[in-house]
Each structure stands twice: as C-alpha cells, then as structure tokens.
Structure 1
Amino acid sequence: MATKLDLYRPDFGRRPYWLALLIAIDQLANAALAGYPDETISSRAHREGWTHVERLIDTLFFLDRQGGVRHCELAYYGELVREHFPVDMPA
C-alpha cells in the first residue's frame, strides 16, 4: 500500500537565490528556537505535531501543495529525501 511519502515527487533542481536566502533565514529562526539547524520551521511544525502552527503556515503557503499534501508536510518530506542537498554532492 502506497504512503504519502511514496507519492511525493521531490524537486532536486536548483532554487532561485532569493528563495535560498529565505530558507536560510527560516532555518536560522528554527535553530534559534532550539530546533535542528538545517530544518525549516514548516518541517518542524509537521514533525512535532504543532497543529495550530502547521495550519497557519499551510494557510500562508496555500499554493504550495501536491495533491492533498500541503506545505508543511511537503517540507518534512523534502527533509527526509534530502531535497535541499546538491545532487552532485556526495551524501
């Protein structure tokens, strides 16, 4: 039986510079809040089960979805598959 992660289609393409900067600021904020330094607040909200925070973030990023999977869950899956990691860099 397929899970949502099986249906997830990662995008390993290079992100625009401005988006990379916004993600870096997001990761810095998450680290300042005692989170993992390389994780976004969106991913953490999904992983930690912060339903109110996740709902707020998903509302703000309502266009970022794949089928029924919304922004925070997508961010979490992106962390799991190391989507942000350069393809040509060894793991």
Structure 2
Amino acid sequence: MRKVGNGGDTSFWKDVWVTNEPLKEAFPRLLSLSLNQEVKVAEVCFEEGERWRLGWRRELFEWKKESLLLLIGRLNGVVLRDNVDRWYWKPEKEGVFS
C-alpha cells in the first residue's frame, strides 16, 4: 500500500493508496472515461476550489455521477504533505506480512 505524502509518485488509479484496492478496480467505468489513466495523485488533488479535478472524455451520465460521488467520498480526508510518497506494509491479524 502507498502512504501518500506529496502525491507525486502515487498513481491515482493503479496504486493501492486510499482503500485496500486500486481505484481502477473499485471504479472501472470511471477509469474507462478518464482522460489520463496514468495520472498521479498530485496532478488531480488541489487545496482550494474544486478539490479533485479529474478529467473525463465526455460528460458523465447521471448514474456515473453517482459513482463519482462514491469516489469523492473515499477521497475525503486525503491531505497532501511535503514528504515523498512511500510504500508500507501492514501485518495480517496473525502478525505476519502477506
């Protein structure tokens, strides 16, 4: 899992960083409409105004807007910091790493 610092080295869609699965697996239809499937977290996260600026190939249908709201809900609480992104592993319940 990625621990996001400044977001410059973490793939928004492909890395496991905000939940226990990559966002591409949780929101495959949104990924398919993304203008940039290789985008880094730092490139779409802003402190002012519209917090998450994700580009779409076309306007989202109403039911995809519901998926977008779910995605934004998962992103609540994400704050970028000055330090670099890094990998970390949490042990399983038994205290071992998988």
Interval containing the TM-score (normalised by the shorter chain)? under 0.3
Q: Taking CA–CA contacts closer than 8 Å with sequence separation of 6 or more, which of the two structures ends up with the larger relative contact order?
A: 2
Query: Under a length normalisation based on structure 2, what TM-score does the superposition of the two structures give?
Result: 0.25
In our comparison, the structure showing a higher alpha carbon Rg is 2
More strand by share: 2
Query: Under a length normalisation based on structure 1, what TM-score does the superposition of the two structures give?
Result: 0.26
